[in-house]
Amino acid sequence: MNQTAQAAPAAQKMLSFDNVELYYDHVYALKGVSIEMHEGETVALIGANGAGKSSILRAITGLRKIKSGQISYMGQRLDGTSAAEIVKRGIAMVPEGRRVFPLMSVKDNLLMGAFTRTDKQGIEQTLDSVLTRFPRLKERFNQQASTLSGGEQQMMVIGRALMAKPKLLLLDEPSLGIAPKLVQDIARAIVAISRDEKVTVLLVEQNSRMALSISNRAYAMSTGSVVLSGDSKELMGDERIKAAYLGGDL
């Protein structure tokens, strides 16, 4: 993976978790987690399955209610906000497993991402931008989503999220189940989206090498807690990260 994240400029804090705890029934999913993101950054959350990475995304999007702590977005309290309002505030999520509308066309799947928007001309401009970024989607524009490959479906759901014109894009395991060649294409697209669209990206990935190579900073998680954090390039060379997170990717 030869992608390099664009150096993030100094910017205001966009998102912060302050000592957040979250349970599934009586089981800890997040144990006093504190993280922060600034505008323009790409931040990676790495760790094994069940480490708590996706729980952070569910807490941000309101899909799971936190037990204690506080989540702030653009200086305002976010936890307790409805999922629809969170989308309106500029947060879009690409879920794990793609979750396409299989019997709908590529076009209609993409337009579903713009459901909160009313600016018809702006929607058309965003659609053109998405199709320019992902030319395969333009080639398959009127096909049913079920006929696309896994990698093409992943491009489509990323494009669907971009149709909402987000300020913060949440990506949950975008490389999962994707052919290695297309993983590189997805990685390049994430870097380009952050750079060209000025979108802040929070990336959840088990492919730690890919995640560290395209992010500015990263948090390494284990059993619901942050165990290491820092500059992604520095973490890539950290022996603890190599031993615990990069062994399977080398």
pLDDT in tens, 189-228: 999 999 998 999 999 998 899 999 999 999 999 999 999 9
- Give the pLDDT band of residue 179 (cuts 50, 70, 90): confident
- CATH number of domain containing 125: 3.40.50.300
The answer to whether residue 7 sits within a structural domain is no
The answer to whether residue 2 sits within a structural domain is no
Helix H or strand E segment including 204: strand 200-205
Q: At which residue do the structure tokens 């049913």 appear?
A: 144
The answer to whether residue 3 sits within a structural domain is no
The total of structural domains in the chain comes to 1
Domain housing 138: 13-246
> pTM score, two decimals?
0.89
The sheet carrying 42-46 orders its strands as 91-94, 168-172, 200-205, 42-46, 217-222, 225-231
First to last CA, the chain: 11
The answer to whether residue 1 sits within a structural domain is no
- Say which residues have a Cβ less than 8 Å from residue 126's Cβ, sequence separation at least 6: 114, 162, 163, 165
Tell me: the pLDDT tens digits for 35-54? 999 999 999 999 988 899 99
Helix (H, G, I), strand (E, B) or coil at 248: coil
Report residue 17 CA to chain centroid gap.
16
| DSSP states along 100-129 | --TTSBHHHHHHHTTTT---HHHHHHHHHH
pLDDT exceeds 50 at position 248: no
- Give the pLDDT band of residue 144 (cuts 50, 70, 90): very high
- Residue 204 neighbours by CB distance under 10 Å: 25
